[in-house]
Amino acid sequence: MDTVTTLAAARERRAADRVAGKTVAFVPTMGSLHEGHLALVRRARELGDSVWVSIFVNPTQFGPGEDFERYPRDLARDAELLAGESVDVLFAPATGDMYPTPPRVTVGYSGLENVLCGASRPGHFAGVGLVVAKLFNIVEPQVAVFGQKDAQQALLIRRLVEDLSFDVRIEVAPIVREADGLAMSSRNAYLSPQERRAAGVLYRALEEAAEAIRNGERNPAEVERLLAGRIAGEPLADLDYASCVDREDLRRPAIIGRPVLLAVAARFGSTRLIDNLLIDPRGETT
């Protein structure tokens, strides 16, 4: 595995792949890798000849008071895991190289960035869009793999790619879960043992709501009440949102007739976790 840490070195390495006629499959990450990330890497391996992974804890997507400083960082361990997956290139730039000047450009998504996670994390998706656009311009991948766990992020990145005509295909890989259903996340490492146990409620609530839809519930407000009630029943969970929205426009439909995204966020102590299920009223769940 080659490790490149500057934009110039990344561009040089990318040129070598181009000369060799290799297609690049790219997995952008913030490091602190877990099985969920490794599943994205394995999917990338299926999609391209040269697999690139970036590790960059992007300051512009963290708000004041969020966990930018304490976000877990262990580049040596991450590099070992990636080498074990036969990754071709690890791109781990320094903040000063990615942002030599404070960014003057912002990315907006016509309001989609202000709902769900965006409602309690103002500016978050602007920062994500900015860094993903920069990474795409540096790495120039043919395909990029993102996780379904960050469903809103995946949707907004698709919009970014379409509206700015990036020549990259976006692939979204399924959520990888722990034995009790908890979605894998770098932030799970912050949880105390009690919080970790309590966090299983998110998936249980999603499953119950999905089951209600499978059994014929078509009122999204009722589904949201069910989700919220189940999560509120866990004393260690502090609910942020529990939503049943159209998977394309993230609005609550009048009635559930098309595939919907069941999306939840809650705090366990100081740790904010998210999870979701995509459900087709005709029975399919992912």
Nearer to ligand PAF, 117 or 245 (CB): 117
- Report the candidate in 45, 49, 43 with the shortest Cα–Cα distance to residue 16: 49
- Report the candidate in 251, 283, 245 with the shortest Cα–Cα distance to residue 264: 245
Mask of contacts with ligand PAF, 87-126, x by CB under 6 A? ----------------------------------------
Based on the shown chain and the rule CB under 6 A, indicate whether residue 260 belongs to the binding site for ligand PAF.
Answer: no
Strand segments, DSSP code E, in 6-154 are 24-29, 50-55, 89-91, 143-147
Smallest gap from residue 31 Cβ to ligand PAF (A): 8
Based on the shown chain and the rule CB under 6 A, indicate whether residue 261 belongs to the binding site for ligand PAF.
Answer: no
Nearer to ligand PAF, 30 or 242 (CB): 30
Smallest gap from residue 150 Cβ to ligand PAF (A): 5
Catalytic residue among 13, 37, 124, 196: 37
Smallest gap from residue 41 Cβ to ligand PAF (A): 13
Based on the shown chain and the rule CB under 6 A, indicate whether residue 183 belongs to the binding site for ligand PAF.
Answer: no
Q: Work out which of 58, 185, 271, 276 binds ligand PAF, going by CB under 6 A.
A: 58
**By the 8 A CB rule, do 232 and 207 touch?**
no
Stretch that binds ligand PAF, among 24-32, 158-166, 173-181, 249-257 (CB under 6 A): 24-32
Based on the shown chain and the rule CB under 6 A, indicate whether residue 30 belongs to the binding site for ligand PAF.
Answer: yes
Based on the shown chain and the rule CB under 6 A, indicate whether residue 28 belongs to the binding site for ligand PAF.
Answer: yes
Residue type, 275: D
- DSSP sequence for 119-184: HHSTTHHHHHHHHHHHHHHHH--SEEEEEGGGHHHHHHHHHHHHHTT-S-EEEEEPPPB-TTSPBP
86: Cβ–Cβ under 8 A, 6 or more apart, which residues? 1, 45, 51
Smallest gap from residue 117 Cβ to ligand PAF (A): 11
> Cα dist. 132→135, 170, 257 in Å?
5, 12, 33
Based on the shown chain and the rule CB under 6 A, indicate whether residue 188 belongs to the binding site for ligand PAF.
Answer: no
Based on the shown chain and the rule CB under 6 A, indicate whether residue 223 belongs to the binding site for ligand PAF.
Answer: no
Is 37 catalytic? The answer is yes
Task: Please give the Cα distance from 243 to 245 (Å, whole number).
Answer: 6
161: Cβ–Cβ under 8 A, 6 or more apart, which residues? 136, 168, 170
Based on the shown chain and the rule CB under 6 A, indicate whether residue 144 belongs to the binding site for ligand PAF.
Answer: no
Q: Looking up tokens 């990315």, which residue turns up?
A: 107
Binding site for ligand PAF (CB under 6 A): 28-30, 58, 61, 128, 131-132, 150, 153
Residues annotated as catalytic (active site), given as ranges: 37
